[in-house]
Amino acid sequence: MPNATPPDDLPPQATPPAGDPDAVTYRLRRDSAGRVRRIWRAIVARRWARWLALGVLGLGLAYAVVWVAFVRTLPSADKLLTYQPPLPTMVRGNDGEIVSSYARERRVQLRFVDFPPTLIGAFLSAEDKSFFSHHGVDVTGLAGAAVDYVTKLGTGARSRGGSTITQQVAKNLLIGNEYSFGRKIKEMILALRIESLLTKQQILELYLNEIALGRQSFGVQAASRAYFDKDVGDLKLHEAAFLAILPKAPEDYGRTKSAGKAMIRRNWVLDQMVKNGYASRGDADAAKAQPLGLVQRHSDNYTSDAGYFLEEVRRQLIGQFGENAETGPNSVYAGGLWVRTSLDAKLQTAAQDSLRAGLLRYASGRGWHGPIATVDPAHWQGELIGSNIAIKYLDWRVGVILDRAGSAGQIGFADGSTGQVAGLADAVRPGDVVAVAPNGGDWALRIVPEVSGGMVVQDPESGRVLAMQGGFDSRLGSFNRATQANRQPGSAIKPFVYATALDNGMTPASIVLDGTFCVYQGAALGQKCFKNFGDEGGGGSHTMRWGLEQSRNLMTVRIANDIGMDKVVRTIKGAGIGDYPAYLSMALGAGDTTVSRMVNAYGALADHGRLHDQTLIDFVQDRNGKVIWRADKRGCDTCNMAQWDGKPMPRFKPTGRQALDARTAYQVVHMLEGVVVRGTAASLADLKLPLFGKTGTTTGPTNVWFVGGSRQIIAGIYLGYDQPRSLGGYAQGGRIAAPVFKQFVLATRDRWHTTPFVVPEGVRLAKIDRVSGKHVFEGTPDDRDPKAAIIWEAFKPDSEPRRTSRDLQVSTREAVLEAIRQAYAARYGAAAAAGGDGEDTGDVQGGVY
């Protein structure tokens, strides 16, 4: 080392003159410089001191290098104090039961007290036996890891060991899994910081909740479900030991081919548990004798099979909160949301079964129409798994035809198993994805209907969707025909045409001609003449009620033309069905709409004209239970008063908006009850319930419909091909769609009440002759009898047929007869007017009445 010394004196020019105020400061600086010189000379004079100085300088330089290379860029360990793991969204039905979850990873958060001691002991024995004694870094384990690292340099093999549980928490949650010496340094530094911030219990809780354990499982609870289909509290000793081996090779030990290796590692963990005092030797030996006992595939057994409904909920949640953590703290796949939906499990099951039965009835006997999908036979298993195609109906399964000989062949399933299938259609080829069912020891081909459809069930008083089925099975494809398929509703639109007529001066008893109706459409299109269903002509004049009950096209277009199509399409738009041009064909259902919108519009009819926003989600809570979104946004400031103030109970305002006159809505519903009693949906009459509804059949016929229900439940169904084509000449809404609704009602009979529809204020019920629409006095109306001559009819004030007394009727009759006699007398003389024995007069009376 050079013998350089600091200068003995300060520069002469720095010396202040005597008496200068800075003289004291000067002397202090000079004395300090003298002390520095003496210390420096002592260091230089002694070798140990020189080495000590060099050591301190080296440590300082080393710290500077470590700080620049590692510490400077380390994330703050304080993040763990407020760490919120990515959690799946849990979905509940309207009864509070969990019906599904939205997750790309299996995650369940538990508190430290929820982890059984046996499980904790297994993980400590396998991963970090000195966890409770070290301060984040295990020096002994680190030394062994360093030796392993050096011996494997250049071999390409990855060294193992050396990381404590605290270091693994730092790696998993803060810095990632990069394989490098630098990452190990960062891991150690962060482990020391974590130990100064968190208790050992908090660190273990983070670790056991976040560790990756294979099968898309993060945390011991999710892994326990994935490998054993049980909760951690129910694990046996050998099962807890198995979970503890997974951090070393999470995607390997759970495979069938690695069962032997997993057994050896598990038994080693059991021995370590005995050594560390977490298990007795006898218990460990008994556990060693147990097989691994892994379940092949765990599927969540939720209370309802509602794929279409839940997919629609998922779409809405993503639109509202985002999909991933990057899109916000309450995202669907990371936010840990709790979602309460309006799904009714019983109604959902009934809707699914009813629609499937209707599709199968129509498709029965139609033969093979093609595969569900096709895959490459050489890579069939991977492509089948990747397609996510499956089916959950009876004992059916989806598989791939691998080869065939004659009418038999071999089929492969997603789990790798194979079998023999018989009765193959001639067009079936290897690579076809098909549905099969057990047939003795083999499999038999099953045909998924090519025809499809959608069904929605809704509460008319709130707009809450109670059930939704968008096809045969959501596992066959995510296209939801209940909300995404735009179809012509046909005659199901007619109630809103008649509602427009009722708003414009007509009544259910108004007489309308059911006769030829033609309109001139201009030089290019010429004249268009409308016809009734089946190309039927007219049938004379009838009441408007009869026209709706029998779904007469000619009466409907005549009414629409007389009141104005601009008013009709305005009513249809106001009901939320669609925005259509003012063409007469729209009055017969030529405009596209969805089952969902039609059901909501019929709900407005049932709720006295109030149209509600259709909802599937009631409210959403964040991971802490705070409600962050609610469908019902009505406020009630006085609902949670500490004490009653003596004033009337607070009442919520009604939801929705008044889309139709309440009186008009009831009149339409009252007429639509006749559709069920004696009209196109008469097949439902034997249910003996107060139901209303309307069938629909479009040109072709390509689509068949039924929409209707009660005061409490509205349901709508359509059936048709995805690429519209004729269903066959016999296809009608009353024959194909109405039976689906009937099966649904029978399956849920306890949910249907016998309470009739409530008559709103401003509606008067009058006895009328059902055929003529005239007001009558004798007899008792019977709205449930399809052949009743007298029924109750609903009228707005001053619109019912003129009421007259019996005496007035008799006097009017005599006046008419007297006028006839006088006319006869003037033409034929007094003798003819007298009528002789009365024969001629009787004939004349018969012509009048």
Annotated active-site positions, please? 127, 491
Q: Which two tokens stand for residue 740?
A: 């689906």
Side chain identity at residue 666, one-letter code: Y
Answer for the pair 580, 586: CB distance below 8 angstroms, yes or no: yes
User: Is the previous residue joined to 12 through a cis bond, with omega within 30 degrees of 0?
Assistant: no
Q: Which two tokens stand for residue 242?
A: 């198995």
Q: Which two tokens stand for residue 775?
A: 């007001």
Half-sphere exposure of 487 (CA within 13 A, CB side): 39
Q: Of the candidates 135, 127, 288, which has an alpha carbon nearest to the alpha carbon of residue 198? A: 135
Distance CA 509, CA 793 (A): 8
Half-sphere exposure of 97 (CA within 13 A, CB side): 11
Neighbours of 261 (CB within 10 A): 14
β strands within 51-194, DSSP E: 89-92, 98-102, 106-107
Query: What is the separation, in whole angstroms, between the first and last Cα of the chain?
Result: 139
Answer for the pair 652, 635: CB distance below 8 angstroms, yes or no: no
Half-sphere exposure of 690 (CA within 13 A, CB side): 12
Distance CA 107, CA 222 (A): 5
Distance CA 223, CA 374 (A): 34
Beta strands 617-621 and 610-611 are unpaired
Question: Is the backbone of residue 88 left (phi > 0), alpha (psi -120 to 50) or beta?
Answer: beta
The β-bridge partners of 610 are: 658
Report CA dihedral (209, 212, 217, 219) to the nearest 10 degrees. Answer: -10
Q: Of the candidates 417, 427, 420, which has an alpha carbon nearest to the alpha carbon of residue 447? A: 427
Distance CA 696, CA 496 (A): 13
β strands within 65-169, DSSP E: 89-92, 98-102, 106-107
Half-sphere exposure of 310 (CA within 13 A, CB side): 26
Distance CA 194, CA 166 (A): 7
Answer for the pair 456, 465: CB distance below 8 angstroms, yes or no: yes
Q: Of the candidates 411, 386, 410, which has an alpha carbon nearest to the alpha carbon of residue 397? A: 411
Report CA dihedral (412, 413, 417, 418) to the nearest 10 degrees. Answer: -30
Answer for the pair 243, 218: CB distance below 8 angstroms, yes or no: no
Answer for the pair 489, 593: CB distance below 8 angstroms, yes or no: yes
DSSP H/E element including 442: strand 442-446
Distance CA 30, CA 21 (A): 16
Q: Cα angle at 309 between 217 and 472, to 5 degrees?
A: 100
Q: Cα angle at 341 between 335 and 346, to 5 degrees?
A: 135
CA 569, distance to chain mean position in Å, is 32
The β-bridge partners of 708 are: 693, 715
